Amino acid sequence: MLHLARQLAEAGHVDVVALGQPEADATEPFTLHHVGAHRPPIRALALGARRTYMEAKLGTDALALSAGPNEWSSVQAEFPYTVFPAKRVGAPVVMDAHNVESDVFRSLAEDDDRLLHRLRWRWEAAKTERLEKKAVAVADAVCAASDGDAATLESWGARRVVVVPNGVDTHSLDHRLPGPARKLLYVGHFGYRPNLRAAEELATRIFPSVRARVPETTVQLVGREAASALRRLTGPFVDVASDVDDVVPFLRAAGVFVVPLRSGGGTRLKVLEAMAAGLPVVSTRFGVAGLSVRDGEHVLLAETPEELAEAASRLLADRALAEALSLSARQLVEQRYDWRQVARPLVDLHASLALGR
């Protein structure tokens, strides 16, 4: 959202309206406003009997009250639950669909081995799909993160869909060829169960097999809420870094970026950042879903823990292969996934809506 707001602000005046009390940054090209706060989790759960949890927690009419008539020529609503208050502003609304959220919940249900949680995810998926279909019906246009998501949104009756995948700022992230480090890296928000399960699989099922092949190998797990969620995984060869200010030093210090994701949604910002930085990537196909990568050219793809371990071991042992993947992946992100490239259809969409086209 930050990078898209920056790109839109290069084309015209942009107000970013957010819940909570964000810190204003005078260096940003947009104007930042805050309009209250989200509901406490307990209150959101109580309201979530009929609404989706995120709608109950974050849905607010404050957005509609924050602008006078005709103040904005178009509005971008992040997530389906902000579409309805945004429509009351009176300007054309673009719904930014970060995922098909109901599909995310279905994938969580399929990947969860706890019965009550599976039932909860399926219930949330049903509520979320109803909300998404209503939001798509009233939005003037929809922004999708992948071709697959775009097809689903079109099947639900979206009037206009543009594909704007996740991106990376290649101008501020220098490429470096991978060094000789015998270290596997995974980055994520570990309060999100798909990332937690991926970290557990890496540390307990993939890593031991890699270390048997390459004895000096270690693992680094980096991200939000890592200290509490991953405490039990920490050991002599598994290091956890929580809530770091900058992930780039960890990308520089690793030898392979391993992505054993099996549920969740969206295209992976973490994968694009690793590719841009020059760190070779081993992933499940789900982990790179929506990205135009080719196996053996930009990344190595594998599915089972043993296959992922074998691919990671190959990269640790074969410097030439690691460097070839590093160079081709960087070229791909520069050509296809730099924010200046991926945001162009969105900038054009807002311009056309502002002109009534």
- pLDDT per residue as tens digits for the range 108-166: 898 888 899 899 899 999 999 999 999 999 999 999 999 999 999 999 999 999 999 99
Tokens read off for 291 = 């990205």
Tokens read off for 290 = 């929506």
- Type of residue found at 324: A
Q: Tell me the per-residue pLDDT of 294-322, one tens digit each, with 9 for 90 and over.
A: 999 999 999 999 999 999 999 999 999 99
Helix, strand, or coil here: 17? strand
On whether the CB atoms of residues 141 and 92 are closer than 8 A, the answer is yes
- Type of residue found at 99: N
Cβ count near 82 (within 10 Å): 24
User: Where are any strands of DSSP class E within 28-100?
Assistant: 31-34, 75-78, 93-97
Domains defined for the chain, CATH in brackets: 2-167+339-354 (3.40.50.2000), 183-337 (3.40.50.2000)
Task: Evaluate if residue 227 carries a pLDDT over 60.
Answer: yes
Residues 347 and 76: their CA atoms lie apart, in Å, by 11
Q: What share of the chain is helix, strand, coil (3-state, %, to 5)?
A: 50, 15, 35
Q: For residue 223, what are the CA distances in angstroms to 3, 219, 226, 326?
A: 20, 13, 6, 23
Q: Tell me the per-residue pLDDT of 233-257, one tens digit each, with 9 for 90 and over.
A: 999 999 999 999 999 999 999 999 9
Burial 306-326 (b: 16+ CB within 10 A, else e): ebbbbbbbbbbeeeeebeebb
On whether the CB atoms of residues 291 and 299 are closer than 8 A, the answer is no
Q: What is the pTM of this model?
A: 0.86
